[in-house]
Amino acid sequence: MSTNEPIALDKALASFDALWSPRIVTQVNDYDVRVAKVEGDHLWHVHDDTDEFFLVLDGELRISLREPTGERTVTLPKGSVFTVPRGTEHKPSAPSGAAILVLEPTGTPTVGDRHDEIPDHVDATTGHRLTP
């Protein structure tokens, strides 16, 4: 999946319209680098064995977290990064829409290992190959 040519993230994002349906732009070791367009709510879910790294490319992403000390929401404006620790129940949302880059081990499902019922607007996938 890795390429020896640069990948323009704006062109990668322009190549698809589906929301909450990440595209794999490249791989780094055993990790996928995925981009996604997001709007509205994702779903509460947990990745038991891996952290999940988010970089906001455009817009604003909110991530609600259920932590031992209670529930909180972090707000990530464009250019911000945040890592959800493994085993932490979380729910991303983007009320006004956003474009994000996510780094996680290849094969990691977008809905985690445990999750709420999957709504129709969320693509339960391990990522789709980016097509030109």
Q: Is the pLDDT confidence value at 131 over 90?
A: no
Q: What is the pLDDT of residues 87-104, one digit of tens each?
A: 999 999 999 999 999 999
Output DSSP code: residue 118.
Answer: P
Counts for the chain of helices (H) and strands (E), in that order: 1, 9
pLDDT tens for 34-54 read 999 999 999 999 999 999 999
**Total-model pTM:** 0.91
Name the band, by pLDDT with cuts 50, 70 and 90, for residue 125. confident
- Fold (topology level) of 9-115: Jelly Rolls (2.60.120)
Extents of the domains making up the chain = 9-115
* CA distance linking residue 77 with residue 48, whole number of Å: 26
Q: Quick one: pLDDT at residue 45? A: 93
At residue 5, the pLDDT reads: 85
